[in-house]
Amino acid sequence: MNKKGLLISVEGIDGSGKSLFSKNLYHTLKNKNDVILTKEPGGTKLGQKLRQILHEEKENVCDLSEFLLFASDRAQHFQEIIIPNLNSNKIIISDRMADSSLAYQGYGRKLNISMIKKVNEWAMQNIIPDITFYLEIDIKTALNRIIKRQETLTSFEKEKMKFWQHVLDGFDQIFKNRKDVIRLDATKNPDEILNQALTHLKNYI
Ligand code: TYD
């Protein structure tokens, strides 16, 4: 294993199966490695409170404030979890990280991308993930997974589809020329996705 630890982020739209993938990866790596599984938002005690605010106060939080709450969660996450664990040579798997803010708040809500990048860098103390797994999926499959057997989409869900399309285009744009990003086909079954990821990870651990 790398001496300085390894930071892995997992990204994708809602319904991409990112959380299940993160758990599967964690349980597999745990057999032979010192590894932790964490998440944004909500990887720390403060983060859990911020996540609750983000969920409960959706209507009362303006877009900029929403981003700053995610950034606050991220700053605490890095200070309390990411940096100490990297320093103890651990592998860290984080279910979402800075690229989610770029895709959701930047491309989805149209906030200033360069400001988001700057605040992210500040919150992360200039540390970036070594590897990002991106679970690629189309909107329809993702939404169908979420609403399951519902036959028609409500206007709220149609609205959501528009937003998600922007987020998806955002991820595509952000990851276009990034060598640290490994795209995984999220429409495959969980074992296949995991095996694809493990093949790539052989170069790192
Ligand atoms: P949550 O229920 O915590 O987890 P999940 O990732 O499993 O959906 O929801 C997090 C939501 O917050 C999700 O819709 C993505 C969004 N998000 C942002 O908009 N910006 C961010 O920076 C992060 C980390 C998440």
pLDDT in tens, 136-166: 999 989 888 887 755 566 666 667 788 989 9
DSSP state of 58: G
Cα(41) to centroid of ligand 1, in Å?
A: 6
Cα separation, 5 vs 94, in Å, equals 13
**Residue type at 133?**
F
**Pocket, ligand 1, Cβ cutoff 6 A:** 14, 19, 40-42, 51, 70, 96, 100-101, 104-105
Q: What is the pLDDT of residue 147?
A: 76
* CA-closest residue to ligand 1 atom 10: 41
Torsion angle of the four alpha carbons 154, 160, 162, 164, in this order, in degrees rounded to the nearest 10 = -140
pLDDT score recorded for residue 156: 62
Whether pLDDT at 76 is above 80? yes
Tell me yes or no: is domain 6-201 CATH 3.90.1580.10.
Answer: no
pTM of the model: 0.94
* pLDDT, position 1: 41
What's residue 2's pLDDT? 42
| Mean pLDDT for the chain overall | 93
pLDDT in tens, 18-43: 999 999 999 999 999 999 999 999 99
